[in-house]
Structure 1
Amino acid sequence: MIDLRRLHVLRAVAHYGTVTAAAQALHFTPSAASQQIRQLSRDLGVDLLEPQGRGVRLTPAAESLLAHADAIQARWEQAELDLRADHGEPAGLLRVAGFTVAVPVLLAPMAARLGELHPRLSVRITEAGVPQSFDLLFEGAVDLVVAEVTPHNPPLSDTRFDQQSLLDDPFDLVVPEGHRLAGRERIELADAAHEPWIAPVPESPCRTHVMSACGAAGFTPEVVHHALDWNVTAHLVANGLGVALIPRLAHLTPHLPITRVRCSGNPHRKLLTVTRGGGHARPAVRAALTQLRELASTAVA
């Protein structure tokens, strides 16, 4: 009989990449996590980890086991849902997470609507970046995530997560009032190729979106300022320090002397809803997904 707790430790090593990181996430010591995997290896009679440089890597046997482990986790999640089912009525605690823009535009109004429709349901919101959101889902700390697509997301084929498209969030070119492009209804992004640019910091997921949009338009922007927050970006634009691509969902400080101009070719980022495999069947999650889809349908008009 496979010990599911030991199997979860192996899944954590695969998810986080090292025994130390997995142990930290599971609140184990590294030695305790290693001991769990060694015991699982003895139980199964196969090696699960092998040396690689100063670390370890999963053996082919471990990779094969994990494919079954992810399916087991999804079935276990479904079993818990079946046992706790309350005639399909959303109730209990629903834990959700999302990145900075998603919280005020999507998650907060979703929670307010759910509170009115389902008084027995309590919603808890956590602001979290994309990598952290997937970690929270994997750990069971949240039930539903709104995330943006980045090159670092797990692939759609990863059965641990159910990733569904929610909406496309267009990027607008934001320029100072009175700028030569401010009066246009729509522009070609290449029209701003020779402008000084304000871009997200290199570690921001949106950095990739901005640079890719400019590259598709045939130029590499001259980035003179970097910002982490969209409102900081908007203030830099307002002071005439450059132009920027800012997603339409981003709520900017009112009355700034700036103008949003729509771009031909529709540069955008994609937003997803993400649950654990099988987790979308929970009544509370289904209710939340319904509200999120309704909010998304009008969010970027």
Structure 2
Amino acid sequence: MLDLDRLRALHAVATHGSVSAAAEALHVTTSAVSQQLAKLERETGQKLLERNGRGVRLTDAAHLLVTHAEGILSLVERAEADLEAHRGVVVGELSVAAFPTAIRGLIPAALASLRAAHPELRVLIREYDPSVSLPLVTRGDVDLAIVQDWNNEPIPVLEGLVKGAICEDVADVALPAGHPLAHREVVDLKELAGDRWISSTPGSICCDWLTHTLRSFDSEPRIDHMAYEFATQLALVAAGLGNIILPRLGRCDVPEGVRIVSLRHSLSRRVYAVWREEAARRPAICAALDALRVSARPAVAAPA
């Protein structure tokens, strides 16, 4: 009979590309993975790995076995989720990947709530952009990802994943106090299209979205400064160096010299959780989703 731990080791090598990367993903030593693979070769009577320069590559037999391993491991995960659901108890370990403002604006309150209600659940948090966290969920490296997209530029969810809405995060614009429109209560984004802008780093969802949105007004964006955290961006706005689009979930203490103005045509980020279909019945995922939704309500409410 094929051993599940050995199949899991082979599957991890196929997924991550090397024995060392598989060991890191499985939280074991490289030696432990190599031993599991050696035992699997003896068990199957087939050579599974071949030297390829300084690394290894899978043989045809290994690729065949990996195809079956994916189905087997998926069934095992579904069975474990069903057993947890049958018990109805929120226990075990739940690994969560989330983008930075979700970690600051949603996670602390949600984790405090989960710890109080379900003390036997251990939640592990990792900070990643959606472009990284979605593949991590697909591969099984994390159980749950908290991701975002914009209402005018959605991102696709990969096959085999399920998503659940957490909140709608409305965005305002932050202007330097000396900006000609800073006295207004509401502005139209196209009135600002020719301005200098501050955004997050290249390739991030927010930077790509801002570029796409401003171009829709026939204006080539002038993004002079790039910084990942909203607190840093606000400091640049306070210095009169440009405007930013500021989702309410990302709002921290607004410094002197910054004016927050509403947008006439609402722009918002959709924040949602994503998990694998096989794990959909896990009570821990349901409990985490409920806690995240509750913690989001005050975080994205309209400022007083």
Task: Flag whether TM exceeds 0.5 (same fold).
Answer: yes
Instruction: Report the counterpart of residue 90 of structure 2 in structure 1.
Output: 90
Distance 1:5 1:249 in 2: 41
Amino acid at match of 1:156: V
> C-alpha displacement at 1:177, in angstroms?
1.9
8 Å CA contact retained: 1:190, 1:214: yes
> C-alpha displacement at 1:39, in angstroms?
6.0
Three-state SS of the structure 2 residue aligned to 1:260 is: strand
8 Å CA contact retained: 2:91, 2:121: yes
Amino acid at match of 1:193: A
1:158 is aligned to 2:181: no
Instruction: Report the counterpart of residue 238 of structure 1 in structure 2.
Output: 238
Distance 2:269 2:110 in 1: 21
Distance 1:11 1:265 in 2: 48
Three-state SS of the structure 2 residue aligned to 1:111 is: helix
Three-state SS of the structure 1 residue aligned to 2:280 is: helix
Three-state SS of the structure 1 residue aligned to 2:100 is: coil
Three-state SS of the structure 1 residue aligned to 2:262 is: strand
> C-alpha displacement at 1:219, in angstroms?
1.8
Instruction: Report the counterpart of residue 123 of structure 2 in structure 1.
Output: 124
8 Å CA contact retained: 1:94, 1:122: yes
Question: Cα deviations across residues 88-134 of structure 1 (Å, max 9, x unaligned)?
Answer: 13234444332211123212111222233x25334434241135544
Could you list the runs of 5+ residues in structure 1 that have no partner in the other structure? none
Instruction: Report the counterpart of residue 261 of structure 1 in structure 2.
Output: 261
The TM-score with structure 2 as length reference comes to: 0.75
Distance 2:143 2:181 in 1: 44
Amino acid at match of 1:172: D
- Residues 265 and 14 of structure 1: is their aligned pair in 2 closer, same or farther, counting only changes over 3 Å? farther
> C-alpha displacement at 1:163, in angstroms?
3.0
> C-alpha displacement at 1:279, in angstroms?
2.0
> C-alpha displacement at 1:250, in angstroms?
0.5
Distance 2:187 2:97 in 1: 35
1:108 is aligned to 2:108: yes
The TM-score with structure 1 as length reference comes to: 0.76
Question: Cα deviations across residues 69-99 of structure 1 (Å, max 9, x unaligned)?
Answer: 4443332123223445674132344443322
8 Å CA contact retained: 1:96, 1:123: no
> C-alpha displacement at 1:199, in angstroms?
1.7
> C-alpha displacement at 1:248, in angstroms?
2.0
Question: Cα deviations across residues 41-82 of structure 1 (Å, max 9, x unaligned)?
Answer: x94989999x9xx996998x949964x544433321232234
8 Å CA contact retained: 2:171, 2:247: yes
8 Å CA contact retained: 1:107, 1:125: no
8 Å CA contact retained: 2:5, 2:36: no
> C-alpha displacement at 1:236, in angstroms?
0.3
Three-state SS of the structure 2 residue aligned to 1:156 is: coil
Instruction: Report the counterpart of residue 209 of structure 2 in structure 1.
Output: 209
Three-state SS of the structure 2 residue aligned to 1:214 is: helix
8 Å CA contact retained: 1:145, 1:275: yes
- Residues 23 and 94 of structure 1: is their aligned pair in 2 closer, same or farther, counting only changes over 3 Å? closer
Distance 2:89 2:235 in 1: 46
Amino acid at match of 1:175: L
Distance 1:112 1:286 in 2: 16
Q: What root-mean-square deviation, in Å, do the aligned CA atoms of Structure 1 and Structure 2 show?
A: 4.1
Number of equivalences: 295
1:289 is aligned to 2:289: yes
1:147 is aligned to 2:156: no
> C-alpha displacement at 1:274, in angstroms?
1.9
Instruction: Report the counterpart of residue 182 of structure 1 in structure 2.
Output: 182
Percent identical among aligned pairs is 31
Distance 1:278 1:20 in 2: 27
- Residues 207 and 70 of structure 1: is their aligned pair in 2 closer, same or farther, counting only changes over 3 Å? farther
> C-alpha displacement at 1:243, in angstroms?
1.0
> C-alpha displacement at 1:164, in angstroms?
3.0
> C-alpha displacement at 1:288, in angstroms?
1.5
- Residues 264 and 38 of structure 1: is their aligned pair in 2 closer, same or farther, counting only changes over 3 Å? farther
Three-state SS of the structure 2 residue aligned to 1:146 is: strand
Question: Cα deviations across residues 13-56 of structure 1 (Å, max 9, x unaligned)?
Answer: 554456664455345659x669949967x94989999x9xx996
Three-state SS of the structure 1 residue aligned to 2:73 is: helix
